[in-house]
Amino acid sequence: MQVILMSIKPKYAEKIILGSKTVELRRVAPNLDKSEVILIYESSPVKAITGYAFISQITRSSPSEVWAQYAREAQISKDDFDEYYHGTEHAFAIHISEAARFAEPISLADLRNDQILLNPPQSYCYLALKDFGKEIGQKIDSVKRRNVVAA
């Protein structure tokens, strides 16, 4: 079973966990089904998987249309948005819900020691659930199963 690890700046990850940021913006969309689980990897200085969220929908549009529709939910400044999408024709709005923080983060050092992840992704990457230790693998699997039952 695969999961997606999405690299997110700590200031945005915190907003996701608190529920104020419900749209994550990307230049390239992951190949995921609706209701898929994403693992939140907080980039530097945190450098750890700190939580998870569910994807409810992925919207593809022009950057200007994405800004007009989702600026509030994306919790990003116009300047940062324009810089991120400069020179691109398409923008993806990843609608997320039910975010939660793991009781214990999984550090980049632990991910490297367990040979799950050597370098964090710039945007996102796919990981095999079987690569995680038994405890975290069961936790992620139970989150995925809970969402399938609820859907």
Q: 150: pLDDT confidence band, cut at 50, 70 and 90?
A: very low
Contact 38, 53 (CB under 8 A): yes
Which pLDDT does position 137 carry in this prediction? 65
Which pLDDT does position 29 carry in this prediction? 85
Instruction: Give the separation between CA 98 and CA 70, rounded to whole angstroms.
Output: 18
Check whether 151 has a pLDDT greater than 50. no
Q: 136: pLDDT confidence band, cut at 50, 70 and 90?
A: low
Among 25-29, 81-85, 97-101, 136-140, where is mean pLDDT lowest?
A: 136-140
Report phi then psi at 99, rounded to 5.
-75, 145
Report phi then psi at 28, rounded to 5.
-130, 135
Instruction: Give the separation between CA 6 and CA 42, rounded to whole angstroms.
Output: 8
What are the tokens at 123? 């945007």
| Prior bond of 45 cis (ω within 30°) | yes
Question: Across the chain, what does the average pLDDT equal?
Answer: 87
Select from 32, 14, 51, 36 the least CA-distant residue to 92.
32
Q: 61: pLDDT confidence band, cut at 50, 70 and 90?
A: very high
Rg (CA), the chain: 15
The amino acid occupying position 88 is T
Check whether 129 has a pLDDT greater than 90. no
